[in-house]
Structure 1
Amino acid sequence: MKTHAIIWLLCLCPIAETLGQNVKRQTDKHIVHQQERMVHKQWDRKKFTPTKGFLSLNYQYWITWALHPNYPKTDRRPLSGPGPQTLRMGMVLAMQQTDEAYKKHADTLRNVAVTEAANYSGLLTDADPLWFLYYRKEFNPLLESTETDAMQGIAPEIKDYLQQKGVYEWYTNERLELKERLEAARRTTLDRGSRILAYHRMLMEHRKLLATWEAKKSYAAKFLSLSSSLDGLQSDSPGLPEFEGGRSDVEIAEDILKRTR
């Protein structure tokens, strides 16, 4: 029995395949027209089938379009002018333009933020062109030199005099204060314009301090020279008047006049 069943199945398979290959595709022209209209072709009212026919007696037309009289007049293609697909593509294009505008705005904000950070940050002061080309060289004696460098090339007696009179201590304190202010201006978060103005003011103060220090060294040398000359004259001429402390200039002048008569 099993053998007979298998033989019958083998015989029926070619027959079924032959019948399947001979099936004819059935199409409805009305459906085809509608598909063409909705996808790519023009919305042609003449191709709305079934038509009215002779004297508008075609019952198929009335069955099909009587309940939808405005359908043939309205362009319902997705890619038509007011169609949903056209509107969607227009919205996509508008969104792309909006995204590009937002991206451009964000890039502008980023560039401005980076520029402002570079202008305000105290971490980038070494890379400032004006500092690198000018102020670094002008402030080099203040930043690189030590306290002992101020006494180099000075005679020992002048050095002792400056230390005893407190001139050297004054110069050292002023120099350290100016150096601390300069470092604070360089490292503090500050607008670049304000930072440059602070550099300029402190550079003027530094130059004034150096000029005052040189003048005090010169005055000290002259004073010591005059003191040594006066001591030499008094030792060579013991008859010269000795001035007592606490006397006025008029009294000293009168005493000199009395001794010269």
Structure 2
Amino acid sequence: MKKSSLIFLLLIAINGLARAQKKINDESIRYQQERMVFKQWDQNKFKPSPGFLGLNPLYWLTWAWHRDYHKHDLRPLSPLGPQTLRLALAAGLQNTEQAYKLQTDTLRNMALTQVTAYSGLVSDADPLWLLYYRHQFQPLLYQNDARLLDGLAQQEKDYVIRSKLLDWYLQESHALAERLNAARTTTLERGARIITYQRLLDEYRILQAGWEAKKQTARQFIELSESSDKLKKRHISLSASQVTRSDVQIATDILSHSKL
């Protein structure tokens, strides 16, 4: 019981001491906190003050060792304070960062524009290729060599193969297709690429016209050959009949002369 009573009395004493504490209201400390944090650096609020004719001993005991302290604004957020300078520097760096970002974005956009204009990796996305040249070159790009002679008669097919016309067209069309693929995949300025497309398209149209003309020529040649063969057969038959009549006439003449 004595131990518990002693602890109880000790707690009561501590509680009494806690209640006995008072809030310290020292103007010197309060003014120093205010001017160092947020309020204006007011020279009239440096406590203890000099007093009448500067005879206050507390003033000299406090500020004699820091004569120039009140002349310099030491607030972090003062016009020339470290925090103000840091914020100004941060704002300046942010503006510089924005300027660098704008410059890098400009360089990036220019690089993308140049890549789009020069690189063959994105040539298939060119508007002119998508809207015009892709459709014009589609028969060449997706050419089926096995069906080039479709629509021709068997005699015409034999003639085209025998006369090497098919080999000629295959060689020329494959060479054009290779040149077209090279123009699409090579790093080249967009204007030069478009000019190359147009030049190859003109050559392809000339090749197609020549191929169609040669197939028509093959058809006409076969028709002329057939007509010539018919004429030859008719001439041979007429010649044979004439020869036969002449022999009979000759024999008849010989017999008539022998009777006489």
Which category describes the TM-score, using the shorter chain as reference length?
Answer: 0.7 to 0.9
* Cα distance in 2 between the residues matched to 1:182 and 1:18: 100
Shift of residue 51, structure 1, vs aligned partner: 2.4
Match 1:73 to one of 71, 74, 93: 71
For residue 9 of structure 1, give the secondary structure of its aligned residue in structure 2: helix
Are 2:44 and 1:10 aligned?
no
* Cα distance in 2 between the residues matched to 1:156 and 1:8: 129
Q: Which residue of 2 aligns with 1:178?
A: 176
Alignment of 1:99-178 (within 5 A): 99-178=97-176
Q: Which residue of 2 aligns with 1:20?
A: 18
Q: Which residue of 2 aligns with 1:206?
A: 204
Shift of residue 203, structure 1, vs aligned partner: 0.7
Question: Structure 1 pair 141/26, CA: closer, same or farther in 2 (3 Å)?
Answer: closer
* Cα distance in 2 between the residues matched to 1:65 and 1:229: 134
Structure 1 stretch displaced more, 148-157 or 35-44 = 148-157
* Cα distance in 1 between the residues matched to 2:229 and 2:6: 151
Structure 1 vs Structure 2 CA RMSD: 2.7
* Equivalent residue pairs, number: 236
Q: Percent identity?
A: 48
Structure (1/2) with the larger helix percentage? 2
TM-score (norm 1): 0.77
Structure 1 stretch displaced more, 170-179 or 138-147 = 138-147
Shift of residue 185, structure 1, vs aligned partner: 2.6
Question: Structure 1 pair 158/14, CA: closer, same or farther in 2 (3 Å)?
Answer: same
* Cα distance in 1 between the residues matched to 2:12 and 2:229: 145
The one-letter code of the counterpart of 2:35 is R
For residue 151 of structure 1, give the secondary structure of its aligned residue in structure 2: coil
Shift of residue 192, structure 1, vs aligned partner: 3.4
* Cα distance in 2 between the residues matched to 1:168 and 1:9: 119
Say which one has the larger Rg.
2
For residue 212 of structure 2, give the secondary structure of its aligned residue in structure 1: helix
For residue 21 of structure 2, give the secondary structure of its aligned residue in structure 1: coil
Question: Structure 1 pair 12/64, CA: closer, same or farther in 2 (3 Å)?
Answer: closer
The one-letter code of the counterpart of 1:141 is P
Q: Which residue of 2 aligns with 1:246?
A: none
Question: Structure 1 pair 8/140, CA: closer, same or farther in 2 (3 Å)?
Answer: closer
Shift of residue 108, structure 1, vs aligned partner: 3.6
Shift of residue 123, structure 1, vs aligned partner: 4.4
Match 2:59 to one of 58, 61, 67: 61
* Cα distance in 1 between the residues matched to 2:169 and 2:14: 116
Match 2:193 to one of 192, 195, 199: 195
TM-score (norm 2): 0.77
Question: Structure 1 pair 64/224, CA: closer, same or farther in 2 (3 Å)?
Answer: same
The one-letter code of the counterpart of 1:51 is S
* Cα distance in 2 between the residues matched to 1:235 and 1:139: 48
Q: Which residue of 2 aligns with 1:86?
A: 84
Question: Structure 1 pair 46/227, CA: closer, same or farther in 2 (3 Å)?
Answer: same
Structure 1 stretch displaced more, 218-227 or 137-146 = 218-227
The one-letter code of the counterpart of 2:173 is R
Shift of residue 79, structure 1, vs aligned partner: 1.0
* Cα distance in 1 between the residues matched to 2:189 and 2:55: 90
Give per-residue Cα distances to partners, 1:59-117, cap 9 Å, x unaligned.
Answer: 22233333333222222211111111111111122222223333333344444444444
For residue 79 of structure 1, give the secondary structure of its aligned residue in structure 2: coil
Question: Structure 1 pair 79/157, CA: closer, same or farther in 2 (3 Å)?
Answer: same
Q: Which residue of 2 aligns with 1:52?
A: 50
* Cα distance in 1 between the residues matched to 2:82 and 2:40: 16
* Cα distance in 2 between the residues matched to 1:132 and 1:50: 87
